[in-house]
Amino acid sequence: MPEPAIDIQNVQKSYSNHVAVETLSLTVPKGSVYGLLGPNGAGKTTTIRMILNIIAPDAGSIKVLGKPYDDSSLVNRIGYLPEERGLYRKMQVRRVLRFLGELKGLRGKEADRRIDSWLERLSLRGQPGGEDWGNAKVDELSRGMQQKVQFIGSLLHDPELVILDEPFSGLDPINAQALKDTVVDLKKQNRSVIFSTHIMDNAERMCDSVCIIARGRKVLDGAVDEVRDNRTTRTVALGLVSARSTAVDTVLANRSLVASVDDNNRTMEIELAPDARPQDLLAALVSAGADIERFEVVRPSLHRIFLERVGATGIEEGMSGHG
Amino acid sequence: MDKLFAVIRREYLERVRSKWFVIATIFGPVLFGLLMFLPALLASRSKGDDSVAKIIIVDATGTNLGDRIAGRLSGGISGGSGLTQVRVVNPDSIAPAESLATADVMAEKVKGYLVVDSSTVAGQRARYSGSNTTALIDMNLIERGVQREVMSLRLERSGIDPDVGRQIATMNVNVSTERLTSKGRGGSGQINFVFGLAVAMLLYMTIFIYGLNVLRGVMEEKQTRVAEVVISSVPAGKLLAGKVIGVGGVGFTQLVLWLGMSYVLFQIRAPVLARFGITETGFNLPQISFVTAIMLLAFFVMGFMFYAGLFAAVGATVNSEQEAQQAQMPVVLLLVGSIIFVQNVLLSPDGTLSRTMSILPFSAPIIMPLRMTVAPVPPLEIALALLSVTIGAFASVWVASRIYRVGLLMYGKRPGIREIARWIGQK
């Protein structure tokens, strides 16, 4: 197996009044898009900060790109977009980017060339002679534009490993799309991308592998397909043309057939009881007179798995998903 | 190293480019100039002001002392003599005359009244009551007038020729001072006094202004959350060092520009003063040796480092301007604590207070340069002070970098002393 991008073994970190990460081990394969999933307060940001050597773990080992996490040569090979975003407000955009580049060992003409090309790519700069936001001050930019600038700042030095902490929070659909495209490009260039999120849809669409953590512990990890396949229970997506009748409700309440129902309004995600077969459920629904539009045996969504494994107790206020 | 320079360059250039730097640099010397010229201007104006003569003199001496004083007060300068009213009374009726005069003062017809009696002639005392008793120049004029006239009266009585008596009474010996040190002659003592004060004030102002600037810079990085990106690329200690050096460089630049412009202003002062009708007095810049200049620079650098570290630590523990106002108080008090003793140090540069304060790390950067410019200081004491402030500076920056590292990523509640102590000890 090739050397992983990140290899975390038995890492612990506690603060004065609480344990942030409790014996966490995970491996991020090189060249993959890796999702670090978990509710707010699960320890995602702490884990990321330890990978970046911003804070030191209390115990355990962390290897990044084959080196110990505190190796000083690593800094220039990693790009980081923190969850809390901000820039020097009074500074000219181009100068901010040059500064961020310098901090990663990038300077001179090469830096200017890359800044221009990124500004164009994220439409912050028109054709020559057109509008150029690079010369504006940061606080003259809209929030969305500032986020783009910050994103450029974390990628300017062409890092081998990119770490994005909650990159989609606060992005409008257009910026989110630009971000997603960039992540896909990075993946094509065989860069490793790790991002934390609590929005399962994004993770499901973009990640090759995920790790779900809650309360500082790993709940499960692996390739997204495996995670979704490795399930003993089966899930059925059911769509009805008309509103549910009492007879249908009785079927769905039958615990020998149905373990749980997650009603998403247009479709229902139904988890079958351990011994029930999908055709038993279908037969029962048909005989109950249900007007079926869709009946499909599906792999459970990450969202579903997340809810199930983390449980309502592991989720704090503010948790948002696609449900 | 490259990254340290990147931080220094950003801190330096962003500040030097700002409007405020340009404005402060240009108007600083103008303000200093005003502070220098204004007292001279005011003093020259108040000489011509004859309102001091607008008083009542209650004369119970039985001599012409009242008239003499009146003549000196008004006639001496503007030549008019109708301003002062002399009321000659018997020693028994001083009290009613005083009540009358009091009424006149209260009706604002005159500034005040002076009572002279036999004890005045005896050379003991006179009394003055009026609305201008807090005006030091006025009181000085009245006091001197009374003294001179009593003296000339007594001289005359003792049989000396009135003209000779007047000459003796009005003679004015001006003692000019020259400072002598082990190195030889060094300009007038008074100029060194002014120069020392100017040096202390400049150091104080620069350290204060740019120390606060470091605090604000740290707080801004924390507030805008830019700190987290930067701290993932540069170790906290290096970031703090870059900040202190960069901001200190701005302070130093400003200091040099101020001194340079003040020097130019000083060179062209004669025509400027002449415009206000003040004749320029012989005034030479004190000569300071190269070694002294280097020492002053060293004290500035170390003193700035000491305070910048403390201010940076404060900046890392606060989340808002309001919190900063409170949290910076202890540091500000240390700084202000050194400046309030400046007068004592000037009066007694070799006293225990001066010597102690010039060696403590928090006051040494201001008090020692002050002492050095007004009096010779043993080299051993200078070395000790420099050592103390250097150790203090490095300790301050070390502690600050520990606090900074943790505090920069802590949002929410302001930490208490115990929490901060834990940060310092944290791995």
Lowest mean pLDDT segment, chosen from A49-58, A119-128, B395-404: A119-128
How many residues are listed for chain B in this entry? 427
Lowest mean pLDDT segment, chosen from A84-93, A138-147, A212-221, B278-287: B278-287
Query: Cα separation of A280 and B268, whole Å?
Result: 105
Q: Report pLDDT for B48.
A: 47
CA distances from A259 to A16, A293, A321 (A): 42, 22, 22
Average pLDDT, rounded, for chain B:
82
Regarding beta strands A6-14 and A19-28, do their DSSP bridges make them parallel or antiparallel, or are they unpaired? antiparallel
- Smallest Cα distance from B19 to chain A, Å: 12
Residue to test with chain B: of A99, A146, A165, most B Cβ within 10 A? A99
Residue A103 contacts residue A137 (beta carbons within 8 Å): no
Query: Cα separation of B50 and B84, whole Å?
Result: 10
SS3 B59: strand
Phi, psi of A9 (to 5 degrees): -125, 120
Give the pLDDT mean for A217-221.
Answer: 85
Q: Is the pLDDT of residue A321 over 80?
A: no
Query: Cα separation of B72 and B88, whole Å?
Result: 17
pLDDT tens column, A115-124:
998 998 888 8
Share of chain A above pLDDT 70, in %: 93
- Which tops the pLDDT comparison, B48 or B165? B165
Tokens of A321: 């998903």
Q: Report pLDDT for A318.
A: 39
Query: Cα separation of A174 and B199, whole Å?
Result: 59
Chain B residue with CA closest to A95: the answer is: B10
Whether B232 sits inside 8 A of A52 (CB atoms) is: yes
Q: Put the strands of the sheet holding A217-223 in their side by side order.
A: A78-81, A161-165, A192-197, A33-37, A209-214, A217-223
Whether B409 sits inside 8 A of A105 (CB atoms) is: no
Whether B233 sits inside 8 A of A16 (CB atoms) is: no
Query: Cα separation of A227 and A214, whole Å?
Result: 16
Q: Report pLDDT for B78.
A: 45
CB-based contacts of A296, cutoff 8 Å, min separation 6: A236, A237
pLDDT tens column, B107-146:
888 888 999 988 888 888 888 988 877 777 778 888 888 8
Work out whether the CA dihedral A201, A207, A211, A215 comes out positive or negative.
negative
Question: B234: which chain A residues are within 8 Å (Cβ-Cβ)?
Answer: 75, 103
Whether A86 sits inside 8 A of B6 (CB atoms) is: no
Which residues of chain B approach chain A closer than 8 Å at the C-beta? 2-3, 6-7, 10, 14, 18, 220-221, 223-226, 228-234, 409, 411, 419, 422, 427
Question: A94: which chain B residues are within 8 Å (Cβ-Cβ)?
Answer: none
pLDDT tens column, B360-384:
999 999 899 888 887 788 889 999 9
Tokens 């403590």, residue located = B360
Residues forming a β-bridge with A213: A218
Write out the E strands in B117-230: 127-130, 180-181, 184-185
Of the candidates B18, B225, B229, which has its C-beta nearest A80's C-beta? B229
Q: Report pLDDT for B248.
A: 93
**Closest CA relative to residue B403, chosen from B384, B386, B426:** B426
Work out whether the CA dihedral B210, B211, B216, B222 comes out positive or negative.
positive
Residue to test with chain A: of B213, B224, B229, most A Cβ within 10 A? B229
Q: Taking the CA of residue A254 as centre, how many other CA atoms within 13 Å lie in the half-sphere pointing to its CB?
A: 18
Of the candidates A16, A55, A75, which has its C-beta nearest B233's C-beta? A75
**C-alpha of B396 from chain center:** 28
**Closest CA relative to residue B390, chosen from B305, B310, B294, B332:** B305
Tokens of B402: 């520990």
Question: B6: which chain A residues are within 8 Å (Cβ-Cβ)?
Answer: 99, 102-103
Q: Report pLDDT for A23.
A: 87
Tokens of A96: 């901010």
Classify burial at A83, counting beta carbons within 10 Å of its beta carbon; exposed 0-12, middle 13-18, buried 19 or more.
middle
Helices A143-155 and A173-188 pack at an angle, to 10 degrees, of 10
**Closest CA relative to residue A47, chosen from A71, A78, A30, A25:** A25
Q: Report pLDDT for A310.
A: 77
Q: Is the pLDDT of residue B76 over 60?
A: no
Q: Which of A17-21, B83-87, B301-305, B317-321 has the highest mean pLDDT?
A: B301-305
Whether A103 sits inside 8 A of B6 (CB atoms) is: yes
Query: Cα separation of A319 and A313, whole Å?
Result: 12
Whether A87 sits inside 8 A of B18 (CB atoms) is: no
Q: Is the pLDDT of residue B243 over 60?
A: yes
Residue B298 contacts residue B248 (beta carbons within 8 Å): no
As a dihedral over the C-alpha atoms of residue B256, residue B258, residue B259, residue B265, rounded to 10 degrees, the angle is: 150
Query: Cα separation of A28 and A34, whole Å?
Result: 7
Q: Is the pLDDT of residue A323 over 60?
A: no
pLDDT tens column, A258-295:
888 888 877 888 888 878 888 888 998 888 888 888 88
Question: A103: which chain B residues are within 8 Å (Cβ-Cβ)?
Answer: 3, 6-7, 230, 233-234
A41 at the B interface (CB within 8 A)?
no
- Smallest Cα distance from B274 to chain A, Å: 45
Question: A53: which chain B residues are within 8 Å (Cβ-Cβ)?
Answer: 232
Chain B residue with CA closest to A51: the answer is: B232
Whether A84 sits inside 8 A of B14 (CB atoms) is: no
DSSP string of A101-117, one letter each residue? HHTTT--HHHHHHHHHH
Q: What is the DSSP letter of B331?
A: H
Q: Is the pLDDT of residue B306 over 70?
A: yes
Whether A105 sits inside 8 A of B2 (CB atoms) is: yes
pLDDT tens column, A140-167:
988 888 888 998 999 999 999 999 988 8
Residues forming a β-bridge with B114: B57, B128
A85 at the B interface (CB within 8 A)?
yes
**Closest CA relative to residue A11, chosen from A48, A65, A66:** A48
Whether A87 sits inside 8 A of B10 (CB atoms) is: no
Classify burial at A174, counting beta carbons within 10 Å of its beta carbon; exposed 0-12, middle 13-18, buried 19 or more.
exposed
The H or E element spanning position B338 is helix B329-339
Question: B224: which chain A residues are within 8 Å (Cβ-Cβ)?
Answer: 86-89
Residue A186 contacts residue A154 (beta carbons within 8 Å): no
A-B Cβ pairs (cutoff 8 Å, strict): 64
pLDDT tens column, B19-61:
888 898 888 777 777 766 666 566 555 554 566 778 889 998 8
Q: Is the pLDDT of residue B79 over 50?
A: no
Query: Cα separation of A172 and A148, whole Å?
Result: 11
Query: Cα separation of B232 and A154, whole Å?
Result: 11
pLDDT tens column, A236-264:
888 888 777 888 888 888 888 888 888 88
Q: Report pLDDT for A231.
A: 63
Give the pLDDT mean for A61-82.
Answer: 90
Residues forming a β-bridge with A24: A11
Average pLDDT, rounded, for chain A:
84
Q: Report pLDDT for A115.
A: 92
Of the candidates A16, A78, A105, which has its C-beta nearest B422's C-beta? A16
Regarding beta strands A209-214 and A217-223, do their DSSP bridges make them parallel or antiparallel, or are they unpaired? antiparallel
CB-based contacts of B201, cutoff 8 Å, min separation 6: B339
Q: Does the ipTM surpass 0.90?
A: no
Whether B232 sits inside 8 A of A100 (CB atoms) is: no
Residue B398 contacts residue B425 (beta carbons within 8 Å): no
Write out the E strands in chain A: 6-14, 19-28, 33-37, 59-64, 67-68, 78-81, 161-165, 192-197, 209-214, 217-223, 235-240, 258-263, 268-272, 292-298
DSSP string of A154-196, one letter each residue? HHTT--SEEEEESTTTT--HHHHHHHHHHHHHHHHTT-EEEEE
Helix count (H) and strand count (E) of chain A?
A: 10, 14
Q: Report pLDDT for A1.
A: 57
DSSP string of A189-221, one letter each residue? TT-EEEEEES-HHHHHHH-SEEEEEETTEEEEE
Q: Report pLDDT for B9.
A: 93
- Which tops the pLDDT comparison, B274 or B63? B63
Residue type, A295: F
CB under 8 A, 24+ apart: contacts of B325-333: B327/B414, B328/B212, B328/B215, B331/B211, B331/B307, B332/B208
**Closest CA relative to residue B28, chosen from B232, B254, B183:** B254
